[in-house]
Chain A
Amino acid sequence: EPEVTQTPSHQVTQMGQEVILRCVPISNHLYFYWYRQILGQKVEFLVSFYNNEISEKSEIFDDQFSVERPDGSNFTLKIRSTKLEDSAMYFCASTLGQGAGEQFFGPGTRLTVL
């Protein structure tokens, strides 16, 4: 069964450093998403991406964040200058269609900012 994969599973970084979280969505999916879950809190939407551009983003997704689909398979989330409060689990998701399509989630990357 096809699945969304994410690397690394755990990333530790120093405050102020740049990090890139990587995701490989399901191959025929067209819509891609990033969510985050701060420890003990709910899952929050960050951004959606379609046709090589951001289609929707939340207030959390400020100028420190960017997303890219550098090739036909990867979907990345970059945080330019990490802050302590960026420590969270980051989930990638993908779906074939918009709206009612089930979003398939990856296993997540745990980001720890020291």
Chain B
Amino acid sequence: AQSVTQLDSQVPVFEEAPVELRCNYSSSVSVYLFWYVQYPNQGLQLLLKYLSGSTLVKGINGFEAEFNKSQTSFHLRKPSVHISDTAEYFCAVIRRGYQKVTFGTGTKLQVIP
């Protein structure tokens, strides 16, 4: 079975500062990796995904993530955050060939003006 660990439950950061949200996963088989964002009182929106190929993937709203197979990590980064980035971010995996998405516990990003 696969699992996802997001060590940081909350990350405060000043506006225009860079941010990294950490995600580690474990799986005995190949997985696809995702980051979702959840704004207050809304559903989950896909930020980006890694399926194969280049390990650096770019998503919406200026976010990017890098897949590191040796460290089993998929950290999310943004070079300069905006107030509107305040939300909860979920890292998620799907085992290849399966349908169940396994989510991490989420990281609340609080952007401080």
Q: Are B100 and A56 in contact, with the CB atoms below 8 A?
A: yes
State which size class the interface on B falls in.
Answer: 20 to 34
Chain A, range 6-20, C-beta contacts under 8 Å to B: none
Chain A residue numbers with a CB within 8 Å of B97 are: 98-99
The contact of A42 among B32, B46, B51, B90, by CB within 8 Å, is: B90
State which size class the interface on A falls in.
Answer: 20 to 34
The contact of A91 among B34, B44, B99, B104, by CB within 8 Å, is: B44
* A49 → B minimal CB distance (Å): 9
Q: Are A48 and B43 in contact, with the CB atoms below 8 A?
A: no
Q: Is A112 an interface residue (CB 8 A)?
A: no
Q: Are B104 and A107 in contact, with the CB atoms below 8 A?
A: no
Q: Are B104 and A99 in contact, with the CB atoms below 8 A?
A: no
CA distance A32 to B105 in the complex (A): 23
CA distance A106 to B51 in the complex (A): 23
Q: Are A58 and B51 in contact, with the CB atoms below 8 A?
A: no
Q: Are B94 and A99 in contact, with the CB atoms below 8 A?
A: yes
Q: Are A100 and B102 in contact, with the CB atoms below 8 A?
A: no
Q: Are A108 and B43 in contact, with the CB atoms below 8 A?
A: yes
Q: Are A43 and B103 in contact, with the CB atoms below 8 A?
A: yes
Q: Are A56 and B99 in contact, with the CB atoms below 8 A?
A: yes
CA distance A34 to B32 in the complex (A): 19
Chain A residue numbers with a CB within 8 Å of B45 are: 105
Known interface pairs A35-B101, A42-B105. Does A100 touch B51 (Cβ–Cβ under 8 Å)?
yes
Q: Is A75 an interface residue (CB 8 A)?
A: no
A positions within 8 Å CB-CB of B: 4, 31, 33, 35, 41-45, 48, 50, 55-56, 58, 91, 93, 98-100, 102-108
B positions within 8 Å CB-CB of A: 32, 34, 36, 42-46, 49, 51, 90, 94, 96-106
| 16 pairs from A and B in contact (CB 8 Å cutoff) | A31-B99, A33-B101, A41-B105, A42-B103, A42-B105, A43-B44, A43-B103, A45-B102, A48-B99, A55-B99, A58-B100, A93-B101, A98-B97, A99-B32, A100-B96, A105-B45
